[in-house]
């Protein structure tokens, strides 16, 4: 039995309780979690914005140590330090094998619909985003684990599994920010802070952070922002003023709201690029006129998991951590326990803080 945060039904509060976690089966690995980040995607799973079979244990941004392995597992052994990969590619579908775009793998969430544990009453439990990281231990498919390179603290390494891969990838893979370009980042949560650090790594010039909270300015500037704008009806105008009257070369939207995406689009120059990493509701829509699409010649791009290949990118991120280019600890605004996750959800709803990290 291990303690976990269980979502009994969509919209229900999380229940901190014990679950019956079995030994790993063939092709599976049991992991003792060191830490798990509280991501806005977990909130989206809990409120039904993203689909998830329930009851479920949420949490998908985690790192820990291998406890045991199931039959046929050869790439991992007890004692190995690992990072959870919530979207493991199958390597065989069209997106993986033909297009070399593993972040779009059609089978990445296959484990989500298969019960992995049971409640004390014997009811089946599903793993949130295939990983179920809001628990002291979890059981995942072997290919959902990434070896953690040396020189990276195990607890902070949890952030590599989502926030950092997403923010870094949005800058380096999707928007492809070039040295000297101006970047506007909308939303100073965990992913937004990682995006700001990535923009600094890319050598961006003016880096504008935008958020509804004036209290986040110091946090944003410490992550790499050179300017800070409190979101309002004049946000796009303010960003143009800060970028020589033209608009930003690149905007990265980390909120997932049509209104914010529209503002990010309006904030970029003619020919600029807007990358959207925030996950919004399917009924939250925005419109673009045919004339403005032609006139501004801007690009609007969705970005899943930072367009990242975790197996390729994790060693690169680890190197940046060791060299001081990425500061994982600076992304964490609260270190909490398992029982504090509901309060962390409330903080996200209110737009407070950066990344809360559950430390086991």
Q: Please give the pLDDT value at position 353.
A: 75
* 316-358: pLDDT as tens digits: 999 999 999 999 999 999 999 999 999 999 988 888 878 999 9
Q: Please give the pLDDT value at position 83.
A: 98
Q: Contact at 8 Å (CB) between 358 and 36?
A: yes
- Supply the pTM of this predicted model: 0.95
Q: Contact at 8 Å (CB) between 171 and 193?
A: no
Q: Please give the pLDDT value at position 349.
A: 87
Instruction: Give the span between the Cα atoms of 284 and 259, in whole angstroms.
Output: 9
Mean pLDDT of 175-201: 97
Domains present along the chain, CATH in parentheses: 2-148+328-359 (3.90.180.10), 166-304 (3.40.50.720)
Q: Please give the pLDDT value at position 295.
A: 97
**Beta bridge partner(s), residue 359:** 35
* 213-259: pLDDT as tens digits: 999 999 999 999 999 999 999 999 999 999 999 999 999 999 999 99
94: pLDDT confidence band, cut at 50, 70 and 90? very high
Per DSSP (E only), the strands in the chain are 2-7, 14-19, 28-38, 56-57, 61-69, 81-84, 117-118, 124-127, 137-141, 145-147, 183-186, 207-211, 227-230, 248-253, 268-276, 299-302, 332-336, 355-359
Cα dihedral sign, 235-239-241-247: negative
The DSSP secondary-structure symbol of 20 reads B
How many other CB atoms are there within 10 angstroms of residue 297's CB atom?
11
65: pLDDT confidence band, cut at 50, 70 and 90? very high
Instruction: Give the span between the Cα atoms of 60 and 329, in whole angstroms.
Output: 18
Percentage of the chain lying above the pLDDT 70 cut: 100
Mean pLDDT of 187-211: 97
* 107-148: pLDDT as tens digits: 999 999 999 999 988 999 999 999 999 999 999 999 999 999
Percentage of the chain lying above the pLDDT 90 cut: 93
91: pLDDT confidence band, cut at 50, 70 and 90? very high
Q: Please give the pLDDT value at position 339.
A: 95
Given a cut of 80, whether residue 55 has pLDDT beyond it is yes
Half-sphere exposure of 196 (CA within 13 A, CB side): 32
Q: Contact at 8 Å (CB) between 149 and 175?
A: no
């Amino acid at each position: 039995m291990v303690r976990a945060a269980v979502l009994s039904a969509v919209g229900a509060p999380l229940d901190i309780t014990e679950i019956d976690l079995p030994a790993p089966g063939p092709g599976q690995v049991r992991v003792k979690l060191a830490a798990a980040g509280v991501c806005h995607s977990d909130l989206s799973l809990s409120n039904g914005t993203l689909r998830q079979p329930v009851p479920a244990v949420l949490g998908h941004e985690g790192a820990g140590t291998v406890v045991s392995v199931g039959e046929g597992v050869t790439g991992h052994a007890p004692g190995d330090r690992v990072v959870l990969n919530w979207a493991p590619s199958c390597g065989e579908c069209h997106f993986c094998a033909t297009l070399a775009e593993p972040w779009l793998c059609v089978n990445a969430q296959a484990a989500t619909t298969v019960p992995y544990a049971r409640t004390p009453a014997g009811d089946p439990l599903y793993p949130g985003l295939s990983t179920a990281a809001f628990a002291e231990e979890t059981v995942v498919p072997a290919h959902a684990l990434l070896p953690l390179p040396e020189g990276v603290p195990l607890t902070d390494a949890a952030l590599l599994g989502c926030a950092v891969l997403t923010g870094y990838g949005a800058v380096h893979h999707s928007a492809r920010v070039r040295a000297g370009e101006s970047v506007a980042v909308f939303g100073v949560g965990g992913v937004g802070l990682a995006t700001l650090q990535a923009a600094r790594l890319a050598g961006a010039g003016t880096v504008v952070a935008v958020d509804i909270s004036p209290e986040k300015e110091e946090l944003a500037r410490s992550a790499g922002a050179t300017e800070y704008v409190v979101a309002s009806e004049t946000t796009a105008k303010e960003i143009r003023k800060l970028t020589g009257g033209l608009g930003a070369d690149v905007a990265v939207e980390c909120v997932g709201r049509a209104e914010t995406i529209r503002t990010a689009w309006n904030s970029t120059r003619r020919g600029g690029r807007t990358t959207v990493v925030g996950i919004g509701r399917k009924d939250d829509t925005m419109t673009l006129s045919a004339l403005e699409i032609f006139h501004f010649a801007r690009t609007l791009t969705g970005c899943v998991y930072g367009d990242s290949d975790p197996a390729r990118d994790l060693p690169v991120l680890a190197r940046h951590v060791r060299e001081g280019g990425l500061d994982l600890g600076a992304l964490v605004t609260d270190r909490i326990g398992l029982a504090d996750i509901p309060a962390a959800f409330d903080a996200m709803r209110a737009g407070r803080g950066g990344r809360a990290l559950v430390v086991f």
